[in-house]
Amino acid sequence: MCGIAGVMTTSGRAPASTTLDGLEAALAHRGPDGTGRHLRAGTGLVQTRLAIIDLNTGDQPFTVEGEGGQPLTLVANGEIYNYLELQKELGADDLKTASDCEPPLHLYARLGIGYAERLRGMYAIAIDDAPNDQLVLSRDPFGIKPLYYAETADAFAFASEPQALLRTGIVTPELNRAAAAEVLNLQFSTGAETPFRGIHRVLPGETLVVRAGRVAERHRIPALPDAAAADVAHAAAIGQLDELFEDSVDIHQRADVPYGMFLSGGIDSSALLAMMKRLNDQPVKAFTVGFASAGVPDERAQAERVAAAAGAEFTAIEFEEADFWRTLPDAAAAMDDPAADYAVLPTYMLAAAAHRAGLKVVLSGEGGDEMFAGYGRYRRATRPRWLGGRPLRAAGTLADAGVLRDGAADWRRGIAAAEAAASARWSALQRAQAVDCADWLPNDLLTKLDRCLMAHGVEGRVPYVDTVLAAFAFRLPDALKVRKRLGKWLLRKWLETQLPESRPMSAKRGFTVPVAEWIQARGPALGPLVAGQPGVAEMCRPDAVEALFGATGKAAGQAQWVLLFFALWHDHYLMGKTAGGDVFDTLGAAA
């Protein structure tokens, strides 16, 4: 796992070394084990390395000879899980290293732009193609690994994180109000636009071709199969699931460094632990977080039971109210592409614990709900309105709170676009899953995991978000996904035979952080600070925000949380505040 960045100028003049130095420094946390750089004519590439596979010879950039003897050069952030199979296919004579990221360069030399279709993994790749004088950027189909770009008057620039483009002065910090409205209502933003004006996402599965500092071509690999549900019986489906899940977890464990997993005690992580137990001779290192509050479920006891049944080495950490006030500013600062998901808090603390334990890789259960239809909102989306059905994300967090300056802001436009793009071949349940896979998964869950773990030099891997396993799960009949008001039916039935101590047929409880309880206890003091924060004041009416922080209840708590997170994020990235301390110190500090 690494950080990558680069510049292609419009003039053909070499990028400034200070710019490349700045990009490298901004991404140092993503790659503490080394750096690499490539410079050719008007193109410069940098990479910071977190060494996971081929520790001795896997330093980047990689270079091979292209047409006319001119070089092809690659830097990458990610893991190519089918690299052993690709190495065998390519032949040892063509490979200089045992790195998982060298085969993509040879595939590009042979296949050109379509090379990414042969990759199985999570990746953001940049290739300087000297023979064609072009820069090629590719991102994996589910958007597990991040990649951003900006087109300025003088250059095209890209980086693994938006903050690198800001810190180097390539882009001046300016709020994209439309994307900010999405964050305030959805807790994430959709599509290519980020909350920073002028900074765009390379979309999941997209390959960009850049010439003379401008995007010249766009190609895209779909994440999900455009096919109706398969006709498969329960017994056959269980057998296929066992085979494909084992294969996915097995390749996600490919590493030359210690690894562990995050365990919540729920279906997804329990199934992941069950399979890791099967595949590992040594006890699996499992990390769990719980909350010192009577207002939310504490999953530590259940997680410990599951860990004991699987013979795992169990570590539990407690998240207290003091941790909330102390950790939130740092967690918000890690989320440069903001996802106002309160799960960033426990994820940030778990990542720190994994780092302290000497781990460089952690497997996590993100994507299980999306692939196997675990959310209750999927069931609601498939019902007729007269039975309580409603579209996904029909209500925004702040849309009806009376605080937004522009109450008519089209905050749902991205979700509507994903709905419109859903295939007519899919069932209503599949369409709901696809809408989440388009934006919620890459721009909330996977962004959260990437930033929180990379802030601590730890790589996060997600075996459920694997193109092979996902294609199987997505095409399951609806009846094997949802039955008896339970989602993830097939995964539950598999887990029932593998790790019954996990109680897989119990109703989903969900993962909750008691942010409303903690915020509302200090609402009167917090309200004026949030209401007066410039980003909040730009998007909302301060008097209404201050009044909101005097309210109680679940809906008010969610709105308060989103506004608090947004205020801290805006302070850090748009206002340039670097003050430390807790939430009150940070919001009260001068720039």
State yes or no: pLDDT of 403 exceeds 70: yes
State yes or no: pLDDT of 397 exceeds 80: yes
pLDDT attached to residue 296? 66
115: domain CATH number is: 3.60.20.10
State yes or no: pLDDT of 36 exceeds 90: yes
The whole-angstrom separation of Cα 216 and Cα 124 is: 19
pLDDT attached to residue 1? 61
In a domain, 320, yes or no: no
The owner of tokens 């997505």 is 474
pLDDT band for position 50 (50/70/90)? Answer: confident
In a domain, 507, yes or no: no
pLDDT attached to residue 510? 61
Q: Are residues 91 and 175 in the same domain?
A: yes
Q: Are residues 177 and 60 in the same domain?
A: yes
β partners of residue 134 = 129
Contacts of 363 (CB under 8 A, 6+ apart): 249, 252, 253, 259, 260, 261, 262, 272, 276, 460, 461, 462, 463
User: 577: domain range?
Assistant: 515-588
Produce one character per residue of 113-133: b if its CB has 16 or more CB atoms within 10 Å, e if not: bebbebbbbbbbbbbbbbeeb
Produce one character per residue of 395-420: b if its CB has 16 or more CB atoms within 10 Å, e if not: ebbbbebebbeeeebebbebbeebbe
54 vs 14 pLDDT, higher one: 14
Determine the residue type at 548: L
State pLDDT tens for residues 310-321: 999 999 999 999
pLDDT attached to residue 382? 84
Q: Are residues 213 and 245 in the same domain?
A: no
pLDDT attached to residue 70? 92
- Average pLDDT of span 105-126: 97
Widest pairwise Cα distance in the chain: 70
The owner of tokens 């053909």 is 12
Distance of CA 517 to the CA centre of its chain: 27
Strongest mean pLDDT among 85-99, 250-264, 575-589:
250-264
In a domain, 319, yes or no: no
Q: What is the DSSP string of 46-93?
A: EEEE---S-TTT--S-EEEE-GGG-EEEEEEEEEETTHHHHHHHH-GG
pLDDT attached to residue 511? 63
Weakest-pLDDT range from 246-255, 402-411, 578-587: 402-411
- Average pLDDT of span 49-55: 85
The whole-angstrom separation of Cα 297 and Cα 292 is: 10
In a domain, 47, yes or no: yes
pLDDT attached to residue 390? 81
H or E segment and range at residue 361: strand 361-363
pLDDT band for position 270 (50/70/90)? Answer: very high
Weakest-pLDDT range from 20-24, 224-228, 381-385: 381-385
pLDDT attached to residue 579? 63
Q: Are residues 38 and 162 in the same domain?
A: yes
Q: Are residues 473 and 524 in the same domain?
A: no
Q: Are residues 409 and 388 in the same domain?
A: yes
Q: Are residues 304 and 191 in the same domain?
A: no
Q: Are residues 195 and 216 in the same domain?
A: yes
The owner of tokens 């748009």 is 574
Contacts of 108 (CB under 8 A, 6+ apart): 72, 74, 115, 127, 129, 136
- Average pLDDT of span 324-335: 96
Nearest to 526, CA basis, from 547, 540, 512: 547
| Angle, in degrees to the nearest 10, between helices 267-279 and 234-252 | 70
Q: Kindly report the pTM of this predicted structure.
A: 0.96
Q: What is the CA radius of gyration of the chain?
A: 23
Domain boundary among 458, 477, 502: 502
The owner of tokens 């990379």 is 454
Domains identified in the chain, total number: 3
pLDDT attached to residue 342? 93
At 84, list the tokens: 């052993």
Q: Are residues 497 and 581 in the same domain?
A: no
**Strand locations in 458-514 (E):** 459-461
Q: What is the DSSP string of 84-114?
A: HHHHHHH-GGG-SS--TTSHHHHHHHHHGGG
Determine the residue type at 62: F
In the 8-state DSSP scheme, what is residue 260?
E
- Average pLDDT of span 138-143: 98
| Angle, in degrees to the nearest 10, between helices 300-309 and 267-279 | 20
State yes or no: pLDDT of 49 exceeds 60: yes
Residue 413 has φ and ψ, to the nearest 5°, of: -65, -40
At 167, list the tokens: 């810190």
The answer to whether 163 touches 461, Cβ cutoff 8 Å, is: no
- Average pLDDT of span 105-125: 97
- Average pLDDT of span 293-297: 67
The owner of tokens 């080394």 is 34
Q: Where are the alpha helices (DSSP H) in 319-412?
A: 321-334, 344-356, 368-372, 376-382
At 589, list the tokens: 């500090």
Q: Are residues 389 and 467 in the same domain?
A: yes
* CA distances to 76, 103, 213, 469 from 73, in Å: 10, 12, 17, 31
* CA distances to 53, 437, 461, 471 from 466, in Å: 19, 12, 10, 8
pLDDT attached to residue 69? 87
In a domain, 322, yes or no: no
Proportion of the chain above pLDDT 70, given as a percent:
97
240: domain CATH number is: 3.40.50.620
The whole-angstrom separation of Cα 572 and Cα 560 is: 19
Proportion of the chain above pLDDT 90, given as a percent:
84
In a domain, 179, yes or no: yes
Q: Are residues 242 and 389 in the same domain?
A: yes
pLDDT attached to residue 518? 94
The answer to whether 364 touches 268, Cβ cutoff 8 Å, is: no
pLDDT attached to residue 407? 64
pLDDT attached to residue 298? 76
The answer to whether 140 touches 198, Cβ cutoff 8 Å, is: no
The answer to whether 247 touches 468, Cβ cutoff 8 Å, is: yes
β partners of residue 4 = 47
Weakest-pLDDT range from 51-60, 159-168, 331-340: 51-60
Weakest-pLDDT range from 81-85, 101-105, 299-303: 299-303
Q: Are residues 422 and 567 in the same domain?
A: no
**CA geometry: angle at 452 spanning 448 and 458, to 5°?**
125
Q: Mean pLDDT in the chain?
A: 93
State pLDDT tens for residues 493-552: 999 999 999 998 887 666 678 899 999 999 999 999 999 999 999 999 999 999 999 999
The whole-angstrom separation of Cα 172 and Cα 197 is: 8
pLDDT band for position 53 (50/70/90)? Answer: confident
Distance of CA 351 to the CA centre of its chain: 14
In a domain, 206, yes or no: yes
pLDDT attached to residue 306? 95
Domain boundary among 456, 479, 502: 502
* CA distances to 146, 269, 405, 444, 466 from 186, in Å: 20, 25, 17, 10, 25
pLDDT attached to residue 400? 84
At 203, list the tokens: 């979309």
Helices and strands of the chain, counted as H and E runs: 23, 17
CA atoms within 13 A on the CB side of 348: 20
Domain boundary among 220, 246, 261: 220
Distance of CA 554 to the CA centre of its chain: 26
In a domain, 472, yes or no: yes
The owner of tokens 């398969």 is 230
| Angle, in degrees to the nearest 10, between helices 344-356 and 446-454 | 40
